[in-house]
């Protein structure tokens, strides 16, 4: 049976109190609208149509950025005149489909494929299957009106009688509908209701009149829409628990799942251990057997196997090879690449810098726009002076070089293979391979100086 999906996402989202369209707010690193799209894909939708309205251009751009230009087709609903009207705008894009049409909302990210499968099953051989739910407070929802146990129609909250308002069973808003019936039924919708809108729910009565409706109940938590930031926060907590549980089941250790934040798109190898307060954002890929200790924050970072990230390491857009040690308090800015067995210690900052196999920079160092060879040792307090006030320049340190402590490398500059730079040197010229570079004022030792100074002080005090 073929399935197409229409996702309604034209609404304004007034209660978000935001300049950003509601469906572009992020939940565990993904825009809200991405969840129903992925759900539709997971259910095998042949076609996905997204109805956009409010901030249509921004939503289109975000969807194209995440899925490419062809995965999702967009229909514009310029004015929001109800859910029936929204589906009508999508109709031209599903005019030729046969089989079933699944209707989803753009703002219900917690809905799962496992919950929709029974709805799709129930729709077999019927015109319409509707997802119901029982919220703690049914206010605002369309109530399911039954007669003799059979669903007759959905009554919107604002059209309810006092008695109907007491019905606890409500319409969740997701349906699986026979495509031909949907096209035909939509043409009969009228806006003679309390809100003057075209209600998609009115087609439920049409299917019910032919005794061709099925109802499947869903847990309220899954179908609850996000209307404000409070809903968003609750949904994020729920989604985060789900994500963490999946990683725990797949062999990741978390010292404290309650304070571990992992975005949807993150991949983590087995036997990796995450300390409390670890945040893995965007598209992180973490290898097997890693230790990522308390407070590490990684964004779009690839980490090889068996790495050890000590507490409070912050890294972004970087690639870390196997068995690398980082931190505590290390900072990798975008474009850093560390080969295997690199050691980066406390208060070391890297930007657009490559470090070769086994290279080390263990303390208090800034390496920017640098290429560091294999087994290079970068001493404490080394600084690449990569910016001259106008442009950035590169520093190249070849294999096996030794950079003494408190060195400044004024770029562009190259230190040859195996060269030694003495501590305290300001390197302004290239250093040939194997050479020693030194730029210190010669040291003078004055014997007995301290005692003479002390005496002078004593004398001065006696004179006063
Ligand atoms: C709708 C149902 C109601 C159900 C409730 C569940 C109708 C008439 N009522 O309520 O029975 O209990 O969902 O949440 O269908 N949208 C558009 N264009 C529009 C209107 C809405 O795209 O013109 C989108 C919204 O962005 C949202 C979804 O449709 O994603 C639901 O809209 P909302 O206004 O929240 O639902 P109601 O119509 O109040
Ligand atoms: Ca509503």
pLDDT for res 120: 98
What CA–CA distance (Å, rounded) separates 310 from 30?
Answer: 28
Q: Is the pLDDT of residue 312 over 90?
A: yes
Report the atom number in ligand 1 closest to the C-alpha of 200: 15
Tell me which residue has its CA closest to atom 8 in ligand 1: 199
pLDDT band, very low/low/confident/very high, at 399 (cuts 50, 70, 90): very high
Task: State the burial class of residue 308 (Cβ atoms within 10 Å of its Cβ: 0-12, 13-18, 19+).
Answer: middle
Q: Is the pLDDT of residue 46 over 80?
A: yes
Best of 90, 107, 173, 235 for a ligand 1 pocket test (most atoms within 8 Å of beta carbon): 173
Q: One of 64, 234, 363, 393 is an active-site residue; which one?
A: 363
Residue spans of alpha helices (H) in 43-169: 56-67, 83-90, 113-122, 162-165
Mean pLDDT, rounded, for 37-55: 97
Report the atom number in ligand 1 closest to the C-alpha of 171: 12
* C-alpha 10 – ligand 1 centre gap (Å): 10
What CA–CA distance (Å, rounded) separates 266 from 292?
Answer: 14
Q: Is the pLDDT of residue 390 over 80?
A: yes
The residues lining ligand 1, judged by C-beta closer than 6 Å to any ligand atom, are: 8-11, 51, 77, 80-83, 85-86, 105-107, 141-142, 154, 156, 170-173, 199-201, 225
* C-alpha 119 – ligand 1 centre gap (Å): 19
In 3D space, the residue among 268, 273, 235, 232 whose CA is nearest the CA of residue 256 turns out to be 273
> Would residue 363 show up in a list of annotated catalytic residues for this protein?
yes
Tell me which residue has its CA closest to atom 26 in ligand 1: 11
Q: Is the pLDDT of residue 464 over 90?
A: no
* C-alpha 1 – ligand 1 centre gap (Å): 27
pLDDT band, very low/low/confident/very high, at 12 (cuts 50, 70, 90): confident
Report the atom number in ligand 1 closest to the C-alpha of 13: 26
pLDDT for res 278: 98
CB-CB neighbours of 421 under 10 Å? 27
Three-class DSSP category at 115: helix
Q: Is the pLDDT of residue 462 over 90?
A: no
Class of domain 3-223: alpha beta
Strands, sheet with 413-415, edge to edge from the N-terminal-most edge strand? 267-268, 285-286, 302-303, 319-320, 337-338, 354-355, 370-372, 395-397, 413-415
Report the atom number in ligand 1 closest to the C-alpha of 140: 39
Using a pLDDT cut of 90, give the percent of the chain over it: 98
Q: How far is CA 90 from CA 53, 221, 284, in A?
A: 12, 28, 36
Instruction: Count how many Cα atoms sit within 13 Å of the Cα of residue 280 in the half-sphere of its side chain.
Output: 30
All residues at 6 or more sequence positions from 455 whose CB lies less than 8 Å from its CB, including other chains: none
Tell me which residue has its CA closest to atom 25 in ligand 1: 11
Kindly report, residue by residue over 152-167, the tens digit of the pLDDT: 999 999 999 999 999 9
Backbone angles phi, psi at 85, to 5 degrees: -60, -40
Kindly report, residue by residue over 227-281, the tens digit of the pLDDT: 999 999 999 999 999 999 999 999 999 999 999 999 999 999 999 999 999 999 9
**What is the topology classification, in CATH, of domain 363-458?**
UDP N-Acetylglucosamine Acyltransferase; domain 1 (2.160.10)
Three-class DSSP category at 207: helix
User: Which bound ligand lies closest to the C-alpha atom of 109?
Assistant: 1
**DSSP secondary structure letter of residue 392:** B
Name the residue ranges covered by the structural domains of the chain. 3-223, 363-458
Q: Are strands 26-27 and 30-31 parallel, antiparallel or unpaired?
A: antiparallel
Best of 16, 32, 83 for a ligand 1 pocket test (most atoms within 8 Å of beta carbon): 83
Angle at 306 between CA 330 and CA 347, to 5 degrees: 10
pLDDT for res 463: 82
Kindly report, residue by residue over 336-372, the tens digit of the pLDDT: 999 999 999 999 999 999 999 999 999 999 999 999 9
What CA–CA distance (Å, rounded) separates 51 from 237?
Answer: 27
pTM of the model: 0.92
pLDDT band, very low/low/confident/very high, at 1 (cuts 50, 70, 90): confident
Three-class DSSP category at 299: strand
Determine if the peptide bond prior to 26 is cis (ω within 30°).
no
Q: List Cβ<8 Å contacts ≥24 apart for 140-143.
A: 141/170, 141/171, 142/170, 142/171, 142/201, 143/167, 143/169, 143/170, 143/171
């Amino acid at each position: 049976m073929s399935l197409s999906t229409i996702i309604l996402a034209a609404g304004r989202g007034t209660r978000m109190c935001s300049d950003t369209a509601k469906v572009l707010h992020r939940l565990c690193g993904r825009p809200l609208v991405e969840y129903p799209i992925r759900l539709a894909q997971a259910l095998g939708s042949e076609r996905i149509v997204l109805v956009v309205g409010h901030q249509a251009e921004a939503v289109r751009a975000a969807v194209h950025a995440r899925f490419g230009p062809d995965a999702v087709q967009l229909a514009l609903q310029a004015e929001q005149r109800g859910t029936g009207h929204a589906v009508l705008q999508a109709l031209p894009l599903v005019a030729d489909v046969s089989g079933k049409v699944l209707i989803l909302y753009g703002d219900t990210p917690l809905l799962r494929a496992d919950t929709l499968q029974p709805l799709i099953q129930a729709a077999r051989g019927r015109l319409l299957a509707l997802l119901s739910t029982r919220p703690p407070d049914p206010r605002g929802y369309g109530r399911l009106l039954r007669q003799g146990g059979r669903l007759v129609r959905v009554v919107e909250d604002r059209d309810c009688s006092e008695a109907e308002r007491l019905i606890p069973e409500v319409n969740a808003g997701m349906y699986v509908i026979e495509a031909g019936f949907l096209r035909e039924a939509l043409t009969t919708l009228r806006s003679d209701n309390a809100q003057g809108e075209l209600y998609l729910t009115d087609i439920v009565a049409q299917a019910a009149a032919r005794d061709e409706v099925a109802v499947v109940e869903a847990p309220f938590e899954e179908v609850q829409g996000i209307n404000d930031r409070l809903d968003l926060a609750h949904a994020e907590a729920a989604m985060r628990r789900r994500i963490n549980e999946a990683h725990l089941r797949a062999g990741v250790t978390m010292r404290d799942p309650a304070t571990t934040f992992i975005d949807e798109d993150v991949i983590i190898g087995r036997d990796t251990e995450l300390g409390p307060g670890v945040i893995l954002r965007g598209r992180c890929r973490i290898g097997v057997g890693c230790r990522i200790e308390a407070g590490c924050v990684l964004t779009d970072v690839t980490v090889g196997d068996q790495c050890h990230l000590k507490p409070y390491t912050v890294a972004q857009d970087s690639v870390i090879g196997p068995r690398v040690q980082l931190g505590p308090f290390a900072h990798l800015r975008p474009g850093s690449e560390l080969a295997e067995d690199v050691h980066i210690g406390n208060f070391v900052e890297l930007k657009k810098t490559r470090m070769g196999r086994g290279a080390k920079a263990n303390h208090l160092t800034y390496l920017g726009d640098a290429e560091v060879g294999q087994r290079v040792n970068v001493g404490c307090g080394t600084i690449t002076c990569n910016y001259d006030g106008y442009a950035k320049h590169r520093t190249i340190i070849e294999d096996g070089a030794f950079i003494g402590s408190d060195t400044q490398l004024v770029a562009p500059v190259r230190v040859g293979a195996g060269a030694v730079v003495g501590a305290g040197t300001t390197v302004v010229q290239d250093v040939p391979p194997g050479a020693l570079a030194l730029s210190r004022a010669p040291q003078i030792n004055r014997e007995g100086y301290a005692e003479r100074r002390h005496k002078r002080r004593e004398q001065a005090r006696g004179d006063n």
